[in-house]
Structure 1
Amino acid sequence: MKSEKNIIPAVLPLKKREETQNRWLFHRLNTLLPTLMEKHDVNMWIVVGREYNEDPVLKSLYPASIDSSRRLTILVFYLDSGKHLRRWVLHPNPNFEPFYERVWNPEECDQWECLRRLVDEHNPDNIALNYSSTFAVADGLSHSHFQHLSMLLDDHSHKFTSAQHVIVDWLSIRTSKELVAYPSIAELGRTIAEEALSRAVIHPGITTTEDVVDWIRQRVLDEGMETSFYPTVDLQRKGSDMDRLEGEIIRFGDIVHLDFGIRYLGLTTDTQQLAYVLYPGEVEAPEGLQSAFETALRFEDIITEEMKIGRTGNEVFYRAMKKAREEEIEAMLYSHPIGNHCHEAGALIGLYDVQGDIPIRGDLPLTANSCYAMEFNIKQYIPEWNQIIPIYLEEPVAFMQNRLEYMSKRQTSFYLI
């Protein structure tokens, strides 16, 4: 009997998606960006875009009809003395309006000369540029363009400063309009993940882990979306020396682990879900596996309790791991922000390969209206398997009204295949 596809939340047609993203962008530019520039004491922010070598932050600043910088695009943000943000674009494309005011007349001067005029006219106290040794998304200004700006604005170059703090907040903080929609995006991804971990896709003894990856990628493409990263499907198996088997045929008694996310409406998701493949006659996973899943949920609760606005990523990490040790939970914690990017800028809470203090990125505080992939694993002895196995989980969460909330239905037990 052929299995039906899961009914997933409605995916908007392209035009509606663009209208939605443009509304969000206009709202962000009008409400969020002025606040961030004031918060970080940035008077002027210059972003230079070059076709085929785009600054990574530009995608979050361009309206839907602008797909590239087309040779050269320069955006200038200026916070005047009245805390009013002026937004200028040095490019002839009319589709930049009403998001930006077009101030360059090609018949009068070139773009660089226009930029020089703007800087001279407004004489900002500081000029933020996109360079950073810490945050990749804030390091998009090319070396040649930095040199050109240094020569062009030679008598202002002493005012240059990194725009990294504005960029980190711009990318990691979501507005109220986005937070209303983000849970439905997360739920859309979770629904596809649940379908992938079912008999609609997996036939024990026949289906391989690679088959499931291929199915997911095609399913997401068929819905008119894209994955936020290349999905991973692997196995935990009784008697195996490896805890993440890949490229294997899925068998009865296996735990199937999926790491997967989607990109939709400019926002990404990242989740890890687990299924158990029942033996013929079995109706539930072995008790030892269920106990291990319950332990993972307990550690998930601990992380939730410790993720507080204002605490740094390192503080959350150490507090959560201390509680885990007190409860004799063997755990690893490596959670990260999500947003425009799957691994978004913002406070890191551990790294998979660094279970300790994360300099700079771990020292950032958790901020209101930010979203996270709560990612971790625990290890526990399974009597029925006579071995220790890991339980990998990851759930999208958000600070909504200063309270940490799951953005999609939380997985509380194994999916059963």
Structure 2
Amino acid sequence: MTVARAQIVHEKLEAAVKLLDLHNVDTWLILTREGYDPSLPFVTDNLPKDKTTIFINKSGLHQAIVSKEDYEAFQQTEVFSDVITYDEQMDEVFLKVFHTIDPQKLALNISLYDHLYDGLSLGLHHWMEQLIGPLKLQQIEVSSEPILQQLRCIKSKAEIEAVKRAVTHTTDIFEEAFRKMRVGMTEKEIGELFVDGMKSRGVTNGLGKPYDLPLVCIVRCGLAHRKPGDHKVKPGDIVIVDFSLRCEGYVSDIARTCYFLKEGEIEPPEDVQKAFGAALEAISRSINALRPGKKGYEVDAVGRACIEEHGYPTIRHSVGHQVGRATHDGGTILGPRRTPPRPQVEGEIQSGEIYAVEPTVIQDNGLPCMLVEENVLVTEHGPEVLSKRQLQIITIPYEGVN
């Protein structure tokens, strides 16, 4: 485990103990096979090979039950007061530790709304129910979602630094790619510029496989969350790139829009500049509204209203979402209110959360579309933009057509 990762685990465990006390929960239990649970990286950097149980206790003394094959890796973390092994079956060891702890309230990773908090499989829940007894488990189990949501969404100091490093790599790769883009390149070829940038820095894609292409869309060919194709860039094209990068387990999510100048042009045409201006104003207003205590839907309404005031269709997606260990990191979403209400957009924005803010101009039939996405840290003193902002549409010079 690197020093940075060790610091993150230390900070998250410290936060977890405080959250257990706040929610009057004795123990948070992570029960997983082969590291399936999304919450596992907050308490250990290890990816278990076998069935594993971790008890995070309000007392601050934590236990892990692991296979003999996983023992050494867990012991070396120095996170757990006790690392216990089992042979072929965990049942007897689990019951012994469970009865020693004797939790009156046990938080399990189950959620109706978010996969990031729903790490306990039905099969493992049934296994535990058979061991403890259905009545006993029913009396003590609660969902860990309120605890996990706070733990995941409110970033520690070391996590914020990790996201900042991911953001810096991302903006640097964007700048390199824009210098290399040319008329005649396909969407796939533009995407490969970003893969080259990741490989040269030892980082990976934040979405999908490690070296998947980012989203690259020539607006003329349709704006959608689609894979880059063989469409070739022509003079006068608007190209949008939406790129998420993973560095040290934490991600960025940044989008940029560029315009390929036609022969004789020194700047984009008026309709393109007008659309970019609307997107820029909407993101500036949204960022300014991103303050502790605001509801997710309130910030969404600010960006959405700005796009509509400029005469463009309403945004087809949410104005923003959280980033962290995942590109869509759960918790409060900057989205519109609907019926029935969505808990995610009713949530309050909190200091320490990081949002990708992306109010977008979207039009059909090849009309100008603009996507600018910035990553923003919420603080008590106001929003802090972590990414190097795009304040004007990026232009790619005309160099003739091959």
TM-score by length of 2: 0.86
Q: For residues 380 and 129 of structure 1, what CA distance do their matches in structure 2 show? A: 44
Contact 1:132 1:164 in 2 (8 A): yes
Give the secondary structure class of the aligned counterpart of 1:378: coil
Are residue 115 (structure 1) and residue 94 (structure 2) matched?
yes
**How far apart are 1:410 and its partner, in Å?**
0.3
Q: For residues 302 and 262 of structure 2, what CA distance do their matches in structure 1 show? A: 40
Give the secondary structure class of the aligned counterpart of 2:18: helix
Give the secondary structure class of the aligned counterpart of 2:100: helix
Give the secondary structure class of the aligned counterpart of 2:360: strand
Contact 2:322 2:333 in 1 (8 A): yes
- Who is 2:248 aligned against? 265
Contact 1:60 1:340 in 2 (8 A): no
Structure 1 or 2: more strand by fraction: 1
Are residue 283 (structure 1) and residue 266 (structure 2) matched?
yes
Q: For residues 223 and 335 of structure 1, what CA distance do their matches in structure 2 show? A: 27
**How far apart are 1:26 and its partner, in Å?**
1.7
Contact 1:187 1:408 in 2 (8 A): yes
Contact 1:331 1:376 in 2 (8 A): no
- Who is 1:350 aligned against? 335
Q: Alignment identity in percent?
A: 22
Counting only pairs closer than 5 Å after superposition, residues 68-107 of structure 1 correspond to structure 2 as 68-79=47-58, 84-91=59-66, 92=68, 93-96=71-74, 97-104=77-84, 106=86
Contact 1:306 1:320 in 2 (8 A): no
Q: For residues 117 and 101 of structure 2, what CA distance do their matches in structure 1 show? A: 24
- Who is 1:221 aligned against? 199
Alpha carbons of structure 1 residues 357 and 191: separation in structure 2 relative to 1, 3 Å: farther
Counting only pairs closer than 5 Å after superposition, residues 289-368 of structure 1 correspond to structure 2 as 289-322=272-305, 325=308, 330-332=313-315, 333-350=318-335, 359-368=342-351
Q: Alpha-carbon deviations, 1:362-381, whole Å to 9, x = none?
A: 22221210101112212589
- Who is 2:216 aligned against? 233
Give the letter aligned to residue 35 of structure 1. K
- Who is 1:194 aligned against? 175
- Who is 1:10 aligned against? none
Unaligned runs of 5+ in 2: 397-402
Q: For residues 7 and 366 of structure 2, what CA distance do their matches in structure 1 show? A: 53
Alpha carbons of structure 1 residues 356 and 291: separation in structure 2 relative to 1, 3 Å: farther
Alpha carbons of structure 1 residues 71 and 177: separation in structure 2 relative to 1, 3 Å: closer
Q: For residues 57 and 132 of structure 2, what CA distance do their matches in structure 1 show? A: 16
Give the secondary structure class of the aligned counterpart of 1:85: coil
Give the letter aligned to residue 220 of structure 1. M
**How far apart are 1:342 and its partner, in Å?**
0.6
Are residue 26 (structure 1) and residue 24 (structure 2) matched?
no
- Who is 1:9 aligned against? none
Give the secondary structure class of the aligned counterpart of 2:10: helix
Q: For residues 305 and 355 of structure 1, what CA distance do their matches in structure 2 show? A: 24
Counting only pairs closer than 5 Å after superposition, residues 134-153 of structure 1 correspond to structure 2 as 134-153=113-132
Give the secondary structure class of the aligned counterpart of 1:410: coil
Give the secondary structure class of the aligned counterpart of 1:169: helix
Would you say how many aligned residue pairs link Structure 1 and Structure 2? 379
TM-score by length of 1: 0.83
Structure 1 or 2: more helix by fraction: 2
Give the secondary structure class of the aligned counterpart of 2:11: helix
